[in-house]
Amino acid sequence: MISIRFWDMMISEGYSQDVYIADFTNFVGKPGYDNLPCQGVMVGIQENGIIPSFIIRDERAFPFGVINNEHNPAVFKREDGSPMTQCECIVYSERNDNRKGWLFFLELKYCEPKNRFDRMLEGISQLKTTCNYILKERQELDATLFNKMFLVVSTPGVEPLDPFDASYFDQDYILTVKEETGALVKAVNEVSILTPALLRF
């Protein structure tokens, strides 16, 4: 089971259907983006119709939870009270059979195709920071409770680069991220839930 102490601190929403996650932060105040549905990260069960979303496909209606980190500011504070950098969401399978599930940290990076490499590197860094903060600094989450953990960087509307393509990314860095966090880096704009223990990227 998931560490009850950690999840009791977090505000999360449960789903068993397709979910769309978008971040309006960088669109606030820009021309052509009036009447935005929110000024930050939005998690919903339908496309917002304004900006591209990261999509979680759940055709077989397996239950899962989404933690919108913006809704949990108390968790992501430094000792001096200032907010710390974090990724957008933590998504996890919900199981009541005491078997291991999956979990992924999600970072959205809106960009032009020419900027996706730099934006993805920023995203991977933010994912690593959030993951290590939750697992190591706060020690609130037992990673051994999950069959698989992932750091997912998404560039909605732009096909992301494969982080394991040596022509773009420093493979030693990617492997170091995996060693430091215990999570595999993925670059996708959608994921499918196959079972409570298995995702398809």
pLDDT beyond 50 at 163: yes
Q: What is the dihedral sign for C-alpha 60, 198, 116, 44?
A: positive
Give the confidence band of 77 by pLDDT, cuts at 50, 70, 90. confident
19/37 Cα distance (integer angstroms): 16
Mean pLDDT of the 37-45 span:
96
Distance of CA 151 to the CA centre of its chain: 7
pLDDT beyond 60 at 95: yes
Extract the tokens encoding 13: 């929403």
Location of structure tokens 């939750």: 134
pLDDT: is 103 or 136 the higher one? 103
**What pLDDT, on the 0 to 100 scale, is given for residue 138?**
67
Mean pLDDT of the 41-65 span:
97
**What pLDDT, on the 0 to 100 scale, is given for residue 96?**
74
**What pLDDT, on the 0 to 100 scale, is given for residue 104?**
96
**What pLDDT, on the 0 to 100 scale, is given for residue 1?**
36
Q: What is the dihedral sign for C-alpha 74, 197, 186, 139?
A: positive
Sheet of strand 198-200, all strands in order from the earlier edge strand to the far edge? 41-44, 19-23, 54-57, 190-195, 198-200
- Measured CA to CA in angstroms, residue 16 lies from 19, 64, 66 at distances of 9, 6, 11
Q: 15-29, 64-78, 103-117: which has the minimum mean pLDDT?
A: 64-78
Mean pLDDT of the 92-108 span:
88
Helix axes 171-181 and 116-132, enclosed angle (nearest 10)? 20
Q: Is 31 exposed, middle or buried (0-12, 13-18, 19+ CB in 10 A)?
A: exposed
Mean pLDDT of the 124-143 span:
81
pLDDT beyond 70 at 143: no
**Model-level pTM?**
0.92
